[in-house]
A and B are shown apart, each in its own frame.
Chain A
Amino acid sequence: MVAPIGREARSTGAQIVGVVSCVPSRTRRNEDFHATFGEAGVADVVKMIGVQSRHQVEGTTTTRDLCAHAGRRLLEGLEWTPDSVDALLFVSQTPDFRLPPTACALQADLGLPTQCIAFDINLGCSGYPYAIWLGMTMIQTGAARRVLLAVGDTISRIVDPNDRATALLFGDAGTVTALEAKAEASPSHFILGSDGKGVSNLIVPTGGFRDYAACGDARLAGKLGTALYMDGGEIFNFTLRTIPPLVARTVELGSADGKAPDFYLFHQANLFMLKHLIKKAKLAPEQAPVNIDEFGNTSSASIPLLMTSRLGEALRQGSKRLALFGFGVGYSWAAASIDVGPLKVVETIQA
């Protein structure tokens, strides 16, 4: 047995019935950054991160707006009336305000009933498997029968535009996933973990109630306190230490019935890291779809965006076993092994 790398949980009686991703219509290609970083400067970073284009919001558009568009399309496609929704979870690190919760705003945006459970969860790259676990658990306890998971980020709005490592890497997206009670749904398996030793390695140092920028960390010297700081080397080390055993244990846990995952969906961190993880897990390219080239690293939205942009046809047609791996800021990580499909709605839209 592979040693456990997080809390292991199992849920029954709930399934994913639809997913819609919404990306901003504005695309920024690598050429658009030549003026800021120079052609060679862009090429150096792109060789590593593998991003060719990314969708980024303009003006005052927020994650909430992208999720509201995705949510409306999802409800329409599923033919769910808004008053049939029992809970809405908003998973993001780019909320509208420090308070109130964005989930409450989205409850009103989508016309959901006031008897609806709505709250925010502050997680980034690990957020999607966490959201599925929590939503399915709410269904299993009987607290809800229909749950919407609004998961997304607009990291382009918090990067330092002069920091090429982050300015080129991130794209924006808002997604909404619908969960519904179904007695005969096959069980889902989850592994969930955290390591706060990574707090300072991926951080927006100021803007909350503690000023990390004032703590004397030499790495932050000369950096913009309100912008995202990333220590790429440390994040890479964390990922290489944590994710290969997470993959092994997730497959062991989720495939006790003898059926291996059809697809492995990794958070789209950067292409170099993805290739390394895929190689370590001995996967064929078609088992582990990639979309970072087209959308960049979309933080919490990257896994549902992979489902809608790369697996739409497969998930519309039949049931697939998916192994999902989210990891990053925190540090926090989460994996899920779930059977998904056939889905009535699985789409990527633009707003």
Chain B
Amino acid sequence: MSEFHKGIAEILEIDESAVNAATDLHAGEAAWDSLAVVSTIALIDDCFNVMLDGQSLTNCNTVGDIEALIEAARKA
């Protein structure tokens, strides 16, 4: 998960050490907007080779929500 957390930290513009499952996606300097969602789609494709859709990512509130989507997609 470390590569993923590093990427999420860059997207949210927060410190990498602050990223954990409870991290609020709306708490960073950068907005959790369409640009952030698109960056996250690419990041997840890079790290896990799975594709998530934009709408379900938009609806996430925490990093843990995203990780749950990734787990579900990997099992599918």
* Cα of A231 to Cα of B34 in the assembled complex, Å: 9
Residues of chain B within 8 A of A37, CB atoms compared:
none
CB atoms of B35 and A45 under 8 A apart: yes
* Cα of A279 to Cα of B39 in the assembled complex, Å: 15
A119 at the binding interface (Cβ < 8 Å): no
Would A237 and B37 be within 8 Å (CB), given that A272-B42, A276-B42, A276-B45 are in contact? no
Assign chain B's interface to a size class. 10 to 19
A241 at the binding interface (Cβ < 8 Å): yes
* Cα of A279 to Cα of B57 in the assembled complex, Å: 23
- Min CB gap B47→A, angstroms: 12
**A 221-256 contacts with B by CB, 8 A:** 231-234, 236-237, 240-241
A48 at the binding interface (Cβ < 8 Å): yes
A195 at the binding interface (Cβ < 8 Å): no
CB atoms of B51 and A48 under 8 A apart: no
Residues of chain A within 8 A of B42, CB atoms compared:
236, 240, 272-273, 276
CB atoms of A48 and B35 under 8 A apart: yes
Grouping DSSP codes into helix (H, G, I), strand (E, B) and loop, the A interface class, with mixed when no group exceeds half, is helix
CB atoms of A232 and B45 under 8 A apart: no
Closest to B52 in A: A237
A44 at the binding interface (Cβ < 8 Å): yes
Residues of chain A within 8 A of B58, CB atoms compared:
233
Would A233 and B45 be within 8 Å (CB), given that A240-B51, A241-B51 are in contact? no
Q: A278-306: contact bitstring with B at CB < 8 Å (1 yes, 0 no)?
A: 01100000000000000000000000000
- Min CB gap A47→B, angstroms: 8
Q: B27-38: contact bitstring with A at CB < 8 Å (1 yes, 0 no)?
A: 000100011011
Residues of chain A within 8 A of B34, CB atoms compared:
165, 232-233
Partner of B37, one of A165, A233, A241, A280: A233
**A 253-286 contacts with B by CB, 8 A:** 272-273, 276, 279-280
B69 at the binding interface (Cβ < 8 Å): no
Residues of chain B within 8 A of A237, CB atoms compared:
41, 51, 53-54
**B 3-36 contacts with A by CB, 8 A:** 30, 34-35
- Min CB gap B38→A, angstroms: 5
Closest to B33 in A: A44
* Cα of A101 to Cα of B39 in the assembled complex, Å: 40
* Cα of A342 to Cα of B30 in the assembled complex, Å: 49
Residues of chain A touching chain B, judged by Cβ–Cβ distance below 8 Å, are 44-45, 47-48, 165, 231-234, 236-237, 240-241, 272-273, 276, 279-280
6 contacts between A and B (CB under 8 A): A232-B38, A233-B37, A233-B55, A236-B38, A237-B51, A279-B46
